Amino acid sequence: MRFMTVLGARPQFVKASAVSRVASNSRDIVELIVHTGQHYDANMSDKFFEELGIPAPAIHLGVGSGTHGEQTGRMLSLLDETMRREKPDFVLVYGDTNSTLAGALAAAKLHIPIAHVESGLRSFNRRMPEEINRILTDHMSSLLFAPTKAGVANLAREGITGDLVKNVGDVMYDVALNIRETATTRSEILTQLSLGSSAYVLATIHRAENTDDLKRLKAIVDALSAISLRYDVVIPMHPRTKGRLAGSAISFSQNVRIIEPVGYIDMAVLCVHAGVVVTDSGGLQKEAFFHGVPCVTLRDETEWTELIELGWNRLAPPHDWKSIVGAVEKALALPPPTMRFPSPYGDGKASARIVKAMLAMANGAHRR
């Protein structure tokens, strides 16, 4: 089976590392990795491939930034050309980015089967570009790999059922289990930043709904600045957020530790040793849970409702900086909830199930 993996953003590199590792051990599979160039900063792209042991992309489209329409359009055109030339048996896409949608659209137009990892996630907020991307991708896909029971239920509500929907577990859990034993010995980030274990707040901000809305962005900045009066606050700064702040009158207090984006290993160590994670990232909400760290999510809703139900995550919509501060202080003051197993995200073997299902479908198509 010859399959094409379309990647473009750092969470996708993390997820793909687990599946690529399994695929590379099979003599029946050839994987062709295509990097759209959606994330083009070296710290948000190249470093992830190196640290996670992902083969270097065979093809780099170099699309770069732009509006959603511009970026998706350029990707679609270049991916169409690439798929016509390479003729993959399958196209594999991850998550909910513009790269995900463009990869699925290009494959659908060429009648190439699509496998979607992280199918069925729903925020039920169609103002989010990611929500549109994930819904459209699911409705074009031939194999839908849901990470949770909730994902399967969401797909059923949209009329997507049957053997093509598979609850395989979460590939990010696979990665977290694989990296947990070695991450601390491979990173010097805590020493470099002079951080003590559980004595700091790790924060990330990147979603357009927060960075493009100056009221929300100011609430987040003011909250983290206030928190920094009592605790160390460390923020690996996303390029989009850095750009928005540079063009505004909003700024963090001097107490907040702003650092450049870090690789997966350093981020895992920062997460493991944090007292609380404050984020608008989907992936980091789960990684905090995997590492037993409470999380405060700077959004109105989350796709990962299991984390709210288990008490590991709490929502703090950034309408008011004081409510964010209250949520963070509560998370720091309360003992973490008890870890419950089995995990709602599976047993750490999602990648093997994904590869097995793709091989089975490809073999069936070849026999016909």
Note the pLDDT of residue 86: 97
Do 2-170+346-367 and 184-333 have matching folds?
yes
Per-residue pLDDT at 115 exceeds 80: yes
Distance between CA atoms of residues 123 and 138, nearest Å: 14
Residues recognised as catalytic: 206
Per-residue pLDDT at 206 exceeds 90: yes
Note the pLDDT of residue 367: 52
pLDDT tens digits for range 23-60 = 999 999 999 999 998 766 655 567 778 888 888 899 99
Domain boundaries, the chain: 2-170+346-367, 184-333
What CATH number should be reported for the domain whose range is 2-170+346-367? 3.40.50.2000
Distance between CA atoms of residues 284 and 211, nearest Å: 17
pLDDT tens digits for range 263-285 = 889 999 999 999 999 999 988 99
Interstrand relation of 295-297 and 276-279 (parallel, antiparallel or unpaired):
parallel
Query: 42, exposed or middle or buried, with CB in 10 Å at 0-12, 13-18, 19+?
Result: exposed
* Closest among 349, 316, 282, 344 to 152, alpha carbons compared: 344
Per-residue pLDDT at 230 exceeds 60: yes
Alpha-carbon distances, residue 341 vs 10, 149, 290, 310 (angstroms): 28, 15, 11, 11
Residue type, 322: K
* Closest among 93, 37, 34 to 65, alpha carbons compared: 37
Distance between CA atoms of residues 169 and 43, nearest Å: 28
Note the pLDDT of residue 327: 97
Phi-psi region of 312 (alpha: psi -120 to 50; beta: other; left: phi over 0): alpha
- Which residue carries 């947990």 as its tokens? 180
**Cβ neighbours of 171 (radius 10 Å):** 28
Fold of 184-333: Rossmann fold (3.40.50)
Distance between CA atoms of residues 45 and 13, nearest Å: 8
pLDDT tier for residue 11 given thresholds of 50, 70 and 90: confident
Per-residue pLDDT at 340 exceeds 80: no
Compute the average pLDDT of residues 171-178. 92
Q: Quote the pTM value.
A: 0.87
Compute the average pLDDT of residues 70-91. 96
